[in-house]
Amino acid sequence: QSALTQPPSASGSPGQSVTISCTGTSSDVGGYNYVSWYQHHPGKAPKLMIYEGTKRSSGVPDRFSGSKSGNTASLTVSGLQAEDEADYYCCSYVGTNKKIIFGGGTKLTVL
């Protein structure tokens, strides 16, 4: 099972919006409403941002939003702030073998 496909990097200036994509197949991203997104600052525990594709985890600012179209899920960060600079990972349940798969990660840089 290959990892979900994410762009290695993304960037934006403070106040701008950036969208990170996560592409899978009909066996994972496209087939189930079980996509989640995590923010990971190096040396810290990953933090759940979005679950079930579009739902924000408790305490996550509404600047973060999730969506899905076909086999591709997306995370949009609006009104970029310096503290948003981190690695972001998507994750999905895989129905064919009941395993879980992560994307390769996207390093978000706030310019």
Partner 1 sequence: QVQVVESGGGLVKPGGSLRLSCAASGFTFSDYYMNWIRQAPGKGLEWVSYISSRGSIVNYADSVEGRFTISRDNAKNSVYLQMNSLRAEDTAVYYCARDGKSWWFDYWGQGTLVTVSS
Residues lying near partner 1 in the complex (CB under 8 A) are found at 1, 3, 34, 36, 38, 40, 44-48, 51-52, 57, 87, 89, 91-93, 97-105
- Residue placing its CB nearer to partner 1 in the complex, 17 or 52: 52
Q: How far apart are CA 24 and CA 77, in angstroms?
A: 21
Please enumerate in sequence order all residues whose Cβ is within 8 A of that of 30, keeping only pairs 6 or more positions apart, or say none: 24, 70, 71
Closest separation between CB of residue 24 and partner 1, Å? 13
- Residue placing its CB nearer to partner 1 in the complex, 85 or 93: 93
- Residue placing its CB nearer to partner 1 in the complex, 2 or 13: 2
- Are residues 80 and 17 in contact, defined by beta-carbon separation less than 8 angstroms? yes
C-alpha torsion 46→78→103→74, nearest 10: 140
Closest separation between CB of residue 28 and partner 1, Å? 10
